[in-house]
Structure 1
Amino acid sequence: MKNLFTFLCFFFAYLGFAQVNPSSINSLNVLDYYQRNHHIQEPVNASQSIVLQIGNENIIEVRDQRQEYLELSQVGNDNTIYFTNPNNYPTNAEINIQGSGNYVDILGSNSISDGMKININANDMTIYMRNY
């Protein structure tokens, strides 16, 4: 009963802020009003990050000024990915690691690294990449 009372209080408060005529809302159209007023829209320039970690003591650290698409996956133990993009060029990269003890450090993004895919299927590999 307390939950119903709380819901009704918030609902009528919402109606007051939304400037909807309460007499036009009934049990048949209340869900239509709710869905119309609570429609969540994706931003036009939505960024997408996909992160997958399977294993122990894996580290992923991402600092990106302008991320567009970034996919990072680590399967194994003791893997590390540092991805830093301080410039204004959008990131579009995919990094996949399968193995243990791998270290990837990427700084920056530019037209050369646009659509970059790094696949590591080994143990104890180190990659340093600098894009200025």
Structure 2
Amino acid sequence: MNTSIQNNILPTDEQKLQVAGTFLNAVKSNDWATLQTILATDATWTLPGTSVLSGLAASAEAIVKRAQGLKNFGVNFQLQHILYGLHGFTLSLHNTASRGDLLLDEQVAIVCQVNDGKITSMATYLSDVAGINEFFVPGIID
């Protein structure tokens, strides 16, 4: 069990905002080393669907690789809201990208749990799972 939960040491809203801001800025600027600093070594990130980016990313390195994949596909992230929870935060995003006649245009929620200043788990919820299955296909990125 998460030790901060066991010890009733909860992240403050300011700490959550700092981690959320670091995550967003690192992804937008391709600063993968900084992204790694806010991820627990054994952090996880789930993404629904059957696309090449879907499934479980089960380590900080795998999470960075997924974020790089999103960027390699040309995804633009527009922050709508940061929502605060007891143990973390949710990023409400509007993600867009285009490739040929394909258009990715979806609402995204990434629910992040935080422990000791690091993201320990992330779960993505999408408005258009079929859209990512069509957009994120093998052979488009290396």
Query: What is the TM-score normalised by the length of structure 2?
Result: 0.24
Q: Which has the higher helix share?
A: 2
TM-score normalized with structure 1 length: 0.25
Q: Which has the higher contact order (CA 8 A, sep 6+)?
A: 2
